[in-house]
């Protein structure tokens, strides 16, 4: 298993899970494109595309940090062009960028609705569309989307229908494109954590949510790494969880991923 020399295009990788995936793959000597919006320090959130670039290069990879607002397809297309000019192609796309608002119908302003739809479903579609011509030329092309399995249980809709719609839009890209491009040999898979992951996204949901009951982003990164090393032609159309991927890879003790061992873990959304 190695991603040495592979080029990854990661959206929203300046912090959290995207950053963890980038650093994991960088250890193999991969080329990493961080396509994210934060190019200057945020007043409340750590990390920029430039700080992550330094970490990636320190880990052994090469990095091209690009300021990209994934709501703008012209910026995505320009970033893809710069990626190909720098690294010669694209082998892997990681759709990590996401917006969240766990609000009910009457509590969701339309500008917030539009943000989630644009950053989640629309940007995933646009990023894949821009990268596909280059993925067709890759030896083992993968598209990995951080989205949940499609679950029609009403409990996952009733409290935050707009957010659920937007995340399921990402998942429907996986479902449809895996079949659409099966004969092209491009893998489309989704990955979702079984438990809550200690990222700044949870701070946006509620500042009082303790990280002690969560797992580190590295559990998702290690699972992503295992998927991206699989044969693209035989591994497509799957809605993986981080636990099942790691267990299949021979990792039967997940305790090291806990933020605080012994504390009961908070389950994530969309999984029964």
Q: Report the C-alpha gap between 62 and 8 in whole angstroms.
A: 10
Element spanning 152, H or E? none
Q: Report the C-alpha gap between 190 and 14 in whole angstroms.
A: 20
DSSP state string for 210-250: -GGGSB-THHHHHHHHHHHTS-TTTS-S-EEEHHHHHHHTT
- Give the closest residue to 78 by CA, choosing from 86, 92, 93, 68: 68
> Which residues fall within 8 angstroms of residue 196, CB to CB, at 6 or more apart?
202, 213, 214, 215, 265, 266, 267, 268
168 is catalytic: no
Read off φ and ψ for residue 31, nearest 5 degrees.
-95, 125
DSSP state string for 79-148: HHHHHHHHHSS--EEEE---------GGG--HHHHHHHIIIIIIHHHHHHHHHHHHHTTSSS-EEEE--P
Catalytic residue among 163, 168, 225, 257: 163
Helix (H, G, I), strand (E, B) or coil at 259: coil
Q: Is-contact 91 120, C-beta < 8 A?
A: no
- Give the closest residue to 32 by CA, choosing from 8, 57, 60: 8
Residue with tokens 């035989």: 234
Hey, what's the torsion of the CAs at 69, 73, 77, 83, to 10 degrees?
Answer: 30
The tokens for 204 are 């946006």
Task: List active site positions.
Answer: 163
């Amino acid at each position: 298993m190695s991603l040495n020399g592979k080029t990854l295009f990661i959206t929203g990788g300046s912090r959290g899970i995207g950053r963890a995936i980038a650093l994991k793959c960088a250890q193999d000597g991969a080329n990493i494109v961080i396509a994210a919006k934060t190019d200057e320090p945020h007043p409340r959130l750590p990390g920029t595309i430039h700080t992550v670039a330094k970490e990636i290069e320190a880990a052994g990879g090469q990095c091209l940090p690009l300021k990209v607002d994934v709501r703008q397809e012209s910026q995505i297309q320009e970033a893809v062009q710069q990626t190909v000019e720098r690294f010669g192609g694209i082998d892997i796309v990681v759709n990590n960028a996401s917006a969240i608002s766990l609000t009910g119908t009457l509590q969701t302003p339309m500008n917030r609705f539009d943000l989630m739809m644009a950053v989640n479903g629309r940007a995933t579609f646009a990023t894949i569309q821009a990268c596909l011509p280059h993925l067709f030329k890759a030896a083992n092309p993968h598209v990995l989307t951080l989205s949940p399995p499609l679950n029609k249980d009403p409990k996952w809709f009733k409290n935050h229908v707009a957010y659920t719609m937007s995340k399921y839009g990402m998942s429907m890209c996986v479902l449809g494109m895996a079949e659409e491009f099966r004969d092209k040999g491009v893998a489309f898979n989704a990955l979702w954590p079984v438990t809550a992951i200690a990222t700044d996204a949870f701070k946006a949901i509620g500042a009082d949510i303790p990280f002690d009951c969560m797992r580190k982003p590295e559990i998702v990164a290690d699972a992503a790494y295992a998927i991206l090393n699989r044969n693209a032609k035989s591994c497509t159309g799957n809605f993986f969880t981080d636990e099942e991927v790691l267990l299949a890879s021979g990792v039967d003790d997940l305790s090291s991923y806990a933020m605080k061992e012994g504390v009961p873990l908070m389950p994530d959304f969309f999984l029964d």
